[in-house]
Amino acid sequence: MRRACGAMDWARSLRGRLAARSLPARSEQELKEEEMELFTQYYAQWKGGRAGGNPSYSNIPRFYYRLPAEDEVLLQKLREESRAVFLQRKSRELLDNEELQNLWFLLDKHQTSPMIGEEAMINYENFLKVGEKAGPKCKQFFTAKIFAKLLHNDPYGRISIMQFFNYVMRKVWLHQTRIGLSLYDVAGQGYLRESDLENYILELIPTLPQLDGLEKSFYSFYVCTAVRKFFFFLDPLRTGKIKIQDILACSFLDDLLELRDEELSKESQETNWFSAPSALRVYGQYLNLDKDHNGMLSKEELSRYGTGTLTNIFLDRVFQECLTYDGEMDYKTYLDFVLALENRKEPAALQYIFKLLDIENKGYLNVFSLNYFFRAIQEQMKIHGQEPVSFQDVKDEIFDMVKPKDPYKISLQDLINSSQGDTVTSILIDLNGFWTYENREVLVASDNDSTADVDDT
């Protein structure tokens, strides 16, 4: 009996195997479809089980809305109109001039004696009273946190009325400016593209009295000059867009809006990149370098930049790495070049120059890189009849100044951290910069003598 049962099982198993072999082999596509069908089935079961466990899973609000495509004109118009209405509402929530004047009147009325010199003060109790009377728009400014932030060693626990009012004014200005910039944010993502910022500055020009003297034909060059500073320093990865928050956080917008001051001193204008004299100076230099008047700069034309002592090797690297057109540089690329060389202490400028010095594209400078650039300095010294300085001495001084983490490599971060990046780059790319460094002790002594002579007179 057992033998018969065993024979039957064996026969059934054999028939099953033969039947399986007779089925046609399924394609890879069919297997994938079956796998996806099973996955969907099991996932639906699992999801249904979870939803049953917690009612909130079935009514989570939608949190992602895709941006309308270029051909979805109606959706784009709806989005633009919605953003405009939203920004208008936010603008109405800000304090206007009349409300600010009323706030100042209330603060002055509730000042707490005694005064410190001519500085009016207010204690926390009166601070809260003003907050109650000033209206709902001011409520956000009358908090314990803001009071504590402005409290500075007053023996009576008071804050300066002027400091508080300036704080409110600054906040209102920031919100107004943010709303103004957001109106140019076409994508509505909190960024401004180059064209967006160009439109903003172009429409800002008529509101800046210090730019009244600019010819309209120069507007496009002025806008290009102004926008380039924002993008050079705030867009180091060259993404083509800048966060509005970054624009508000930096000082560039303050410098630009400083041109509203009709009595701005000549000294302030000369040091302000956005002023008319500064923009005309930079553009004038560009035109003077452009000897063949084709609107572009060749390497030979650029070699006369500044004191004309930049090395040929460095200029070769500029034209290798920077955007050029048939081997020549346009005005926008020239602006990046000027901003880098005029601001060598800044991280963005050091990043620009470091990329040019990193000839092997390794992310660091080694002895070979330093020697490669310094040989051009030595050759210029010979041409000018000077005794070339030993590279070994200069190399040791550079590593001593920078103190890199790796004693054989200098990274960009090492240069920035050392606060000597401007000196190191000047030594390697500019004969005049190297001469200034080499004779620094003589120059300091000369400055001291001049100061002493002035004091004696």
Q: What is the mean pLDDT of residues 291-306?
A: 95
Same domain for 350 and 409: yes
Q: Is residue 23 part of a domain?
A: no
CATH number of domain containing 138: 1.10.238
Q: Is residue 400 part of a domain?
A: yes
- Token pair in block for residue 397: 């001084």
pTM: 0.78
- Token pair in block for residue 371: 């020697």
385-403 per-residue burial string, b: 16 or more CB within 10 A, e: under 16: eeeebeeeebeebbbebbe
230-234, 276-280, 366-370, 448-452: lowest mean pLDDT where?
448-452
CATH number of domain containing 229: 1.10.238.220
Q: Is residue 271 part of a domain?
A: yes
* 443 vs 215: which has the higher pLDDT: 215
Same domain for 162 and 274: no
Which residue blocks in 358-390 are alpha helix, DSSP H? Answer: 367-383
Q: Return the SS3 of 96.
A: coil
Same domain for 435 and 332: yes
Same domain for 240 and 161: no
Residue with tokens 């899973």: 57
How far, in Å, are 60, 190, 358 from residue 361 at the CA level?
A: 49, 33, 5
C-alpha of 275 from chain center: 21
Same domain for 350 and 325: yes
Same domain for 197 and 151: no
Instruction: For residue range 102-137, list pLDDT tens digits in order.
Output: 999 999 999 998 887 888 999 999 999 999 999 999
Number of domains, the chain: 3
Q: Is residue 262 part of a domain?
A: yes
Same domain for 403 and 322: yes
Question: Domain boundary residue among 279, 305, 325?
Answer: 279
Q: Return the SS3 of 325.
A: strand
Same domain for 392 and 328: yes
Same domain for 167 and 237: no
Same domain for 137 and 98: yes
Q: CB neighbours of 128 closer than 8 A, spacing ≥ 6? A: 142
> How far is the C-alpha of 367 from the C-alpha of 357, rounded, in Å?
12
Q: Is residue 151 part of a domain?
A: yes
Which domain, by its residues, includes 357?
317-444
Q: Is residue 449 part of a domain?
A: no
Q: Is residue 38 part of a domain?
A: no
8 A C-beta contact, residue 158 and residue 114: no
Rg of the chain, C-alpha, whole Å: 34
Q: Is residue 296 part of a domain?
A: no
Instruction: For residue range 399-443, list pLDDT tens digits in order.
Output: 999 999 999 999 999 999 999 999 999 999 999 999 999 888 765
8 A C-beta contact, residue 417 and residue 435: no
CATH number of domain containing 400: 1.10.238.10
Q: What is the 3-state secondary structure (H, E, C) of 395-434?
A: HHHHHHHHCCCCCCCECHHHHHHHCCHHHHHHHHHEHHHH
Give the pLDDT confidence score for residue 38 in this predicted structure. Answer: 85
> How far is the C-alpha of 296 from the C-alpha of 324, rounded, in Å?
9
8 A C-beta contact, residue 241 and residue 193: yes
Question: Domain boundary residue among 112, 147, 172?
Answer: 172
Same domain for 437 and 337: yes
Instruction: For residue range 224-249, list pLDDT tens digits in order.
Output: 999 999 999 999 889 999 999 999 99
Give the pLDDT confidence score for residue 67 in this predicted structure. Answer: 83
Same domain for 335 and 271: no
